Amino acid sequence: MLSQADQASESGDYQEALKLFHQVLQQNPSVTEAYIGLGDVYLTQQDYAKAEPVFARAARLEPDSFDAQYGHGVALQMLDRLVDAVRAFHRALTIDPASVDANLQLGTVYLQQRDPRNAINFLARAVELDPTSGPAHLNYAAALQEVGSPKEAIEQYRAAAELMEPSAELLFNLVTLLAEEKRYREAVNAAQTLVRLDPTATTYERLGWAYFRLGEYQNSEMAYQEAVSIDPDYYKALNGVGVNALNQWLRSDRTSQEAFLKAQAAFRQSLRVNKSQSKVIQLMMKYGL
């Protein structure tokens, strides 16, 4: 019956699998494999509240079961019980230190706890164990970025992008890091990919930001304007429009009244949206806007 339940689960017949696993446990409530099977089905169905107690039961019955400890960790993580999840993943790694998944998940939980320094070792280990894991490279990059290692983070983000479909979040972080490292052309290239993937006000603002740092002010202006056309109240893009217009006014030896008024209007609109912008206020006061 346990074999039939496993087969039903593997074939996607989850209702039959659940029925058979429960029948096994009715006959013998000490069958660890049945609890693990139930937990796996519940995880697949994203029913984490049901998955957690059955994995906990399996872990108590068989403390040396990696599958029980790891499954319990995943369920706890998804229930946002992160401290308990850390303990479960550590127990799993005690059983199998070479598990890519356990190293990856433990590092990820530490990131969720805003503890990148603890996350780094486990994520580095996950990358070492499986260099083809895009998620391992991605989370390792995030940890490196958090601890202030931008060059290493950039390389990990690039590796993740080659191994998996790049997400908007990945490219957004990559653009920011490349610009911080003054690799402006690469930042623009990444930002262009970003807006193709996710053409939003936020991503066009990043493209404008990257173009400005490259010194391509006309392209920067166009990207910021596109962001404002998508979301007229996106104050970061309004600031970008204002900075470009202010830059144009200064480069005209302060003779272009059109650029001056454009900068003034953009900054004022930005402050109407978000009054808590001390740098914008200081800029307007400095140039009489």
In this prediction, residue 188 carries a pLDDT of 92
- In terms of phi and psi (left: phi > 0; alpha: psi -120 to 50; beta: otherwise), the region of 33 is alpha
Q: What would the DSSP string read from start to end of 161-223?
A: HHHSPPPHHHHHHHHHHHHHTT-HHHHHHHHHHHHHH--SHHHHHHHHHHHHHHT-HHHHHHH
Q: C-alpha distances in angstroms, 14 versus 11, 57, 138, 271?
A: 8, 20, 32, 55
- Cβ contacts of residue 218 below 8 Å, gap of 6+? none
pLDDT for the residue numbered 179: 86
| Angle ∠(233,237,241) on CA atoms, nearest 5 | 110
Tell me, what's the pLDDT at 7? Answer: 86
Q: Give me the pLDDT at residue 180, please.
A: 85
Residues contacting residue 114 through CB under 8 Å, at least 6 positions apart:
none
**What pLDDT does residue 103 have?**
97
Helices 235-251 and 257-273, interaxial angle, to 10°?
A: 160
Predicted local confidence at residue 134, as pLDDT: 94
Q: What is the pLDDT of residue 211?
A: 93
pLDDT for the residue numbered 140: 96
Would you write out the chain's pLDDT as a tens digit for each of its 289 residues? 778 888 888 888 888 888 999 998 999 999 999 999 999 999 999 999 999 999 999 999 999 999 999 999 999 999 999 999 999 999 999 999 999 999 999 999 999 999 999 999 999 999 999 999 999 999 999 999 999 999 999 999 999 989 988 888 889 899 889 988 889 999 999 999 999 988 999 999 999 999 998 899 999 999 999 999 999 999 999 999 999 999 999 999 999 999 999 999 999 999 999 999 999 999 999 999 8
Tokens of 18: 């659940």
Question: Where are the alpha helices (H) located in the chain, listed in sequence order?
Answer: 2-10, 14-27, 32-44, 48-61, 66-78, 82-95, 100-112, 116-129, 134-146, 150-163, 168-180, 184-197, 201-214, 217-230, 235-251, 257-273, 278-287
pTM (predicted TM-score): 0.80
